[in-house]
Amino acid sequence: MDEKELSKFRERLLKEKADLEGELEYIESTMDRSQSEWTGENQYDNHMGDLGSATFSRENDLSLSLNVRDLLSKVNDALKRIEDGTYGYCRVCGRPIEKERLEVLPYTDLCIEDKKAEERSW
């Protein structure tokens, strides 16, 4: 991959990173707010109080935030690979990842064949 393409992917990844960080901040601020709503006025007396009814929606927020974190760490890894010159190569077979695949998933580190193999092994 030439310098020009690489810097194009770096820009996309940096934008993705900024978007994800913003999203994460938003999700977490929503979580903080709903937590103080559940505990209400008693939050000091009873801060470990009955959160049972709210657990379900909190779990949804939590898994959403985990997904975003997961994606963010993939984006960060990809940026690191751009720095050390291994970006665009499959971490399993070492072959260059298909260009079309990187266009869709710029943070991927598996070629289409190894991605399929990984999904089959699940």
Kindly list the residues in this chain that would bind Zn ion in the complex (CB under 5 A).
90, 92-93, 111, 114
Rounded to a whole number of angstroms, the minimum distance from the CB of residue 85 to Zn ion is: 18
Is residue 9 within 8 A of residue 106, CB to CB? The reply is: yes
Closer residue to Zn ion, CB minimum distance, 61 or 114 = 114
Decide: helix, strand or coil at residue 80: helix
Closer residue to Zn ion, CB minimum distance, 64 or 92 = 92
Rounded to a whole number of angstroms, the minimum distance from the CB of residue 19 to Zn ion is: 28
Measured CA angle at 52 (ends 49, 53), to 5 deg: 120
Closer residue to Zn ion, CB minimum distance, 50 or 118 = 118
